[in-house]
Structure 1
Amino acid sequence: MKTGTIILSAGNSSRLGKPKQLIPYNGTTLLQNIVDIALEATKGPVLLVEGAGTYHLKPHRRLIKVVNYNWERGMGSSLKLGLNTLINQEKITNVLVLLSDQPMVSKTLIQSLILKKSENHQPIVASFYQNMPGVPAIFDQSVFQKLRSIPDKVGAKKLLLSHTEQLSLVRFDAGNIDIDSPEDLRALINSDWKHFKG
């Protein structure tokens, strides 16, 4: 199977008050950190969907960037743009969906999702946290059309919650940790969340 990756990074971080993508993290930025992890953990194309801002990243032969000029329509619009771009440019059989504001995502987690997908016949493998499925998640080509049909205002989680019978799950206890507000950022800086990375 050939897995392409979509990293969603089109929002304007309105609750945080500054671009969360540029928050310093692990000696780099939050965005560069997840891009580096995706490139290290996968072998296929890695597509970054930008929108409200565009960001300087280290160049890489597998890194593709696309701008969602309609980013205000919602996360679903960015996901569909990313998927359509990958389908048109690459012969992928699976797509891994990542967010730019989940600092605990690791190479180990992504590879666990990929391994689980290769070992079973379920069309979707998702992370499991807060007692429900979420992203990061891998979708195979049999559900691409369903992804392309989600409303602009919602993300991949809507599809996960409405198709639980098609899911395999990988536990990710720190999946609920994201950066949406100044309080989230202070908690990340002041806590031992890195202990839970995996």
Structure 2
Amino acid sequence: MNVTGLVLAAGASVRLGEAKQLLPYRGRTLLDATLDLARSCGFGQLLVTLGGAADRVRDRVDLTGCEVVENAAFSTGCGSSISTAVRAVDPGADALVLLLGDQPGVRADDVRRLAATDDTPLAVCRYTDGLGHPFRFGRAVFADLADLHGDKAVWKLLHSGRHPVTELSVDGPVPIDVDTRADYERLLTGETR
């Protein structure tokens, strides 16, 4: 199966007040950690969206093996990054796995299991405390992805009832998604979930 990975890293980090992609994390940047994870998953293609702080990200983050998709409309929400990036997906891709650039605690084994979830239009991780990223979209959902807009767009699609959803059981709580200074501090103290 040919699966494309997509790392969302175009946000302006409004709640945090600085470019979270560039926050120091384990000797590198937060985005480096997520891209290292994504590169280890064996995707046929790896896309990363950039928008806010794009020039600084290009200067400081190792983008080796990634195709950068610029999202000029990044301030309108993550839906614009997904709708922009889906147009760059390899025409031979069977599915797209969506990862957040600020969620380094996701485990590669869980991503690979999710990517291998075939015969389902939409799959999401079911952690012990609820649903969370990453998501997997089969080719049948790509047209819907191209029309996404606003924030929380994938969640709205997930709950729309337009596509059957498979939940992949994952051990532990939803990994930390760095949106605030408190989230980042929890991550730095060793919490990843």
Give the TM-score taking structure 2 as reference length.
0.87
Partner Cα distance (1:126, 1:103) in 2: 17
Indicate conservation of the 8 Å contact 2:83/2:149, yes or no: no
Q: Considering fraction of residues, name the structure with more helix.
A: 1
Contact 1:5 1:98 in 2 (8 A): yes
C-alpha contact 1:134 1:160 (8 A) present in aligned 2:
no
CA-atom RMSD in angstroms: 2.1
Residue ranges of structure 1 left out of the alignment (5+ in a row): none
| Equivalent residues of 1:11, 1:71 under 8 A apart | yes
Q: Secondary structure at the match of 1:193?
A: coil
Aligned to 2:158: 160
Partners of 2:180 and 2:132 in 1: CA distance = 20
Aligned residues: 188
Give yes or no for the alignment of 1:66 onto 2:69.
Answer: yes
| Contact 2:5/2:98 (8 A) holds in 1 | yes
1:52 to 1:134, Cα distance in 2 relative to 1, 3 A: same
Aligned-pair identity in percent equals 28
Cα distance between partner residues in 1 of 2:131 and 2:146: 19
> What's 1:81 paired with?
84
Conservation of the 8 A alpha-carbon contact between 1:49 and 1:66: yes
The DSSP-based 3-state class of the residue aligned with 1:37 is helix
Q: Could you say which residue in structure 1 is the equivalent of 2:170?
A: 171
For 2:141, the equivalent position in structure 1 comes to: 143
Q: Which residue of 1 aligns with 2:115?
A: 114
1:172 CA drift (Å): 5.2
Distance 2:129 2:184 in 1: 24
Rounded Cα–Cα distance in structure 2 between residues aligned with 1:127 and 1:5 = 15
Distance 1:72 1:130, change over 3 A: farther
CA deviations over 1:108-149 (Å, ceiling 9, x no partner): 12112123x14xx22222112375433201111011112223
Q: TM-score, normalised on structure 1?
A: 0.85
Do 1:94 and 1:138's aligned partners in 2 also have CA atoms closer than 8 Å? yes
Q: Using the TM superposition, give the Cα deviation of residue 41 of structure 1 relative to its aligned residue in structure 2, in angstroms.
A: 0.9
The residue number in structure 2 matching 1:16 is 16
Asked if the contact 1:96/1:139 (under 8 Å) is kept, the reply is yes
Counterpart residue number, 1:47: 47
**Maintained 8 Å contact 1:113/1:170:** no
Distance 2:166 2:148 in 1: 17
Given that 2:25 and 2:188 are in contact with CA atoms closer than 8 Å, whether structure 1 keeps it comes out as: no
Question: Does the alignment pair 1:127 with 2:125?
Answer: yes
